[in-house]
Amino acid sequence: MHKLLPVLICLPAYGHVVSMSSGELHVEGRKASYELHIPMYEVAHVTNPETALLDHVKFEGAKRMSSSCMEQAGSYVCRAFYEFDRPVPDKIEVECTLFQVTVPNHVHLLYAVQGPNSDQEVFDQSFRQVEVRFHPPSRAELLAKDAAAGIARLFRSVSGVLFLAVLILAARSTREAGILALAFLGGEWLARPLSPRIPMSFSPEFLEAVLALTVAYLAAEVVFLPDSRARWMVIPVLGLAHGLAFAPFPPPYLTAAQIVQVALLAMLWLVVRKMPLAWRRPAAGVMLIAGIGWFARMLVL
């Protein structure tokens, strides 16, 4: 069974782990300037990038007056000037759909400035329309916003939730449940420093398919190797795969998601510890089928 592990490790090499761009918006009165930076390899397949990229970043009430794009130090840089139809208040509605012309898992980081005030927002396929506020948000507001986004991202992954159930089925005691949980959570955090070092990226469907394989792998271990003592060594690697979904985002995303994961694991353990041991392997068999089925579904999307 452990021979499958190298396959799981190598799967992410078939696509980019992080597809990112950044932008700066500077607002002064009714005028604004915007500068977009995106790696050249991200625009290689984009038709007419000099217009297509900027067409997918829109500021409410603003008209683009002029723009120019060029290659600069390995990045494609676009600069544009806008004029608003009225003096800009302390907030602007921004729509970013760059994932439609780059790759589905593209993430755009926008830094917006108006006088002494600034804001930073993250856009992706799920969060394409965001309100940028030009007043200093409290730390509590920032943490609450990022935490809510992280929890939402956790529950959007069917494989992520299924894996928590399999992880608890793999534990044979409260002590082992704690060890496996810590190994998994640590693996998720390990994805943050490692993700930028993987020079490739993949779609959300591909990542979800990889995570479905982690479900199937661990479930198969419980079914076919119920007495295995090496699971704690494998779990961090599987956790690393799950952490890739949170790697491009600020730390509060993963922190909030892990708080919810710990709560779910605790509740699941309260149920599983009362389950007759004879039921563990059949339950894992069901999860094995579910993982393979979800993997197959992701492949056809």
Strands 117-123 and 106-114, bridge-based pairing: antiparallel
* pLDDT at residue number 195: 85
Angstrom distance (rounded) from CA 217 to CA 214: 5
* pLDDT at residue number 137: 67
* pLDDT at residue number 228: 87
* pLDDT at residue number 129: 93
253, burial (CB in 10 Å: exposed 0-12, middle 13-18, buried 19+): buried
* pLDDT at residue number 4: 40
Residues of the chain under the 50 pLDDT cut:
1-16
* pLDDT at residue number 17: 57
* pLDDT at residue number 168: 96
CB-based contacts of 48, cutoff 8 Å, min separation 6:
none
Nearest Cα to Cα of residue 70 among 110, 35, 104: 35
CB 7 within 8 A of CB 214: no
* pLDDT at residue number 136: 64
Angstrom distance (rounded) from CA 213 to CA 247: 19
CB-based contacts of 101, cutoff 8 Å, min separation 6:
46, 49, 52, 53, 56
* pLDDT at residue number 3: 41
* pLDDT at residue number 18: 62
